[in-house]
């Protein structure tokens, strides 16, 4: 296609020409900081998340540091219209995570406020989780939670402002008895995931929460 000819795909790190289905070249793949998380045993994400919510299992694909290649990849996905990166990240997950034991019943994505969705044009979690859903044969729900308030980035807020966003998500359906795998891009403070988890837990019975994120901040 003419588009490919004009804008050939290049490695996000070394700028070398690569296959259009990749994001980094083979050499630079070694520089991507994959976590050593196992979804079932304890790991740093389970430990961190357990301080805020009862969590069944948790997994982060990448470890996110400032200026790292992992950060570059997520940044391209979220802010540079490279929605398809979500698919590649999902493939990286499926190569590493076996969900067949203690299989979740439903994949649930963190919703974007409609203003942000309009601005970005896509929810960066959708291609990612659709791909996971197809591979693991688990249904995905993108609208189980409704984002009801638009807020500035968490980092720019003070403590009292942060507390106000506690009820920023609203459950739209009854999901009693289900094991939910919550999906987000970057786990930093854990506020988003824990707000959503508490909204689910306090409005449902016999629900289990697990977490899967593209990257976690250390």
Positions that interact with Zn ion (CB under 5 A)? 11, 13-14, 25, 28
DSSP labels, 142-202? SSSEEE------GGG--HHHHHHGGG-EEE-S--TT-EEEEEEEEESSSHHHHHHHHHHHH
Minimum CB–partner distance for residue 37 and Zn ion (Å): 25
User: How far is 166 from 22, CA to CA, in rounded Å?
Assistant: 38
Q: Considering beta carbons, is residue 76 or 203 the nearer one to Zn ion?
A: 76
18/46 with CB nearer Zn ion: 18
Angle at 71 between CA 67 and CA 72, to 5 degrees: 85
- Smallest separation (angstroms) from Zn ion to the CB of 181: 32
For Zn ion, the closer of residues 14 and 134 by Cβ is: 14
- Residue 58 burial by Cβ neighbours in a 10 Å radius (0-12, 13-18, 19+): buried
Q: Are 44 and 196 in contact (CB under 8 A)?
A: no
Which of 73/180 has CB closer to Zn ion?
73
Nearer to Zn ion, 15 or 167 (CB): 15
By beta-carbon proximity to Zn ion, the closer residue of 21 and 150 is: 21
Tell me the closest approach of the beta carbon of residue 27 to Zn ion, in angstroms.
5
Smallest separation (angstroms) from Zn ion to the CB of 29: 8
CB of 12 to Zn ion, least distance (A): 7
Cα–Cα distance for residue pair 211/142, rounded to 1 Å: 15
The C-alpha atoms of residue 204 and residue 24 are separated, in whole angstroms, by 42
- To the nearest whole angstrom, how small is the minimum distance from the Cβ of residue 11 to Zn ion? 3
Instruction: Please give the Cα distance from 100 to 136 (Å, whole number).
Output: 8
């Amino acid at each position: 296609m003419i588009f490919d000819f004009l804008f050939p795909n290049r490695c996000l790190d070394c700028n070398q020409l690569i296959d259009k289905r990749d994001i980094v070249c083979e050499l630079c793949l070694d520089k991507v900081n994959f976590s050593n998380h196992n979804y079932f045993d304890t790991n740093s994400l389970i430990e961190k998340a357990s301080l805020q919510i009862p969590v069944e299992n948790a997994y982060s694909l990448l470890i996110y540091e400032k200026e790292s290649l992992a950060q570059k990849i997520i940044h391209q996905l979220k802010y540079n219209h490279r929605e398809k990166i979500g698919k590649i990240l999902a493939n990286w997950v499926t190569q590493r995570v076996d969900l067949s034991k203690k299989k979740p019943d439903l994949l649930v994505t963190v919703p974007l406020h409609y203003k942000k969705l309009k601005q970005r044009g896509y929810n960066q979690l959708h291609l990612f989780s659709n791909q996971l859903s197809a591979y693991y044969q688990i249904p995905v729900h993108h609208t189980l939670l409704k984002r009801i308030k638009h807020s500035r980035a968490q980092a720019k807020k003070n403590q009292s402002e942060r507390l106000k966003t506690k009820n920023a998500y609203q459950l739209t359906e009854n999901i009693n008895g289900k094991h939910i795998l919550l999906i987000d891009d970057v786990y930093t403070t854990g506020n988003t995931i824990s707000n959503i988890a508490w909204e689910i837990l306090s409005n449902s019975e016999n629900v289990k929460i697990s977490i899967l994120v593209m990257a976690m901040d250390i």
